[in-house]
């Protein structure tokens, strides 16, 4: 696993949870790291959700998250951070 990429993914998700727009480079690096994990564990829904959200952002789609969406982004950031602890 790519520790730096996972840190980028978690930080980007935390930015979304706070209602901010994450840096494009951070989003791209985070999506790439999550894509590698998702390839090995395609049934892992939370990783898939985080990956597809970051990929949408990287492709230029905007994210206008409501309170529930921001809460979900925060939860996904926690899950991604838990993966970092396993490295």
Report the alpha-carbon distance of residue 78 to residue 73 in Å, rounded: 9
Over residues 46-64, the mean pLDDT reads 92
Please give the tally of structural domains in the chain: 1
pTM for the model stands at 0.93
Q: What domain range is 35 assigned to? A: 3-85
How high is the mean pLDDT of the chain?
94
Report the alpha-carbon distance of residue 15 to residue 77 in Å, rounded: 9
Write down the residue that tokens 């985070």 correspond to.
Answer: 30
Residue 62 has pLDDT above 90, yes or no: no
| Residue 28 pLDDT class (50, 70, 90 cuts) | very high
Backbone angles phi, psi at 40, to 5 degrees: -80, -30
Cα 64 → chain centroid: 15
Report the alpha-carbon distance of residue 13 to residue 20 in Å, rounded: 9
Q: Is 73 within 8 Å of 20 (Cβ atoms)?
A: no
Q: What is the pLDDT of residues 10-26, one digit of tens each?
A: 999 999 999 999 999 99
């Amino acid at each position: 696993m790519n520790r730096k990429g996972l840190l980028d993914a978690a930080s980007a998700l935390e930015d979304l949870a706070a209602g901010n727009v994450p840096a494009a480079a951070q989003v791209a690096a985070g999506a790439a790291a999550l894509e590698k994990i998702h390839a090995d564990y395609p049934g892992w829904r939370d990783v898939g959700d985080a990956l597809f959200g970051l990929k949408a952002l990287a492709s230029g789609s905007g994210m206008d998250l409501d309170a529930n969406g921001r809460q979900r982004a925060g939860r996904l950031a926690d899950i991604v951070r838990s993966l970092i602890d396993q490295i």
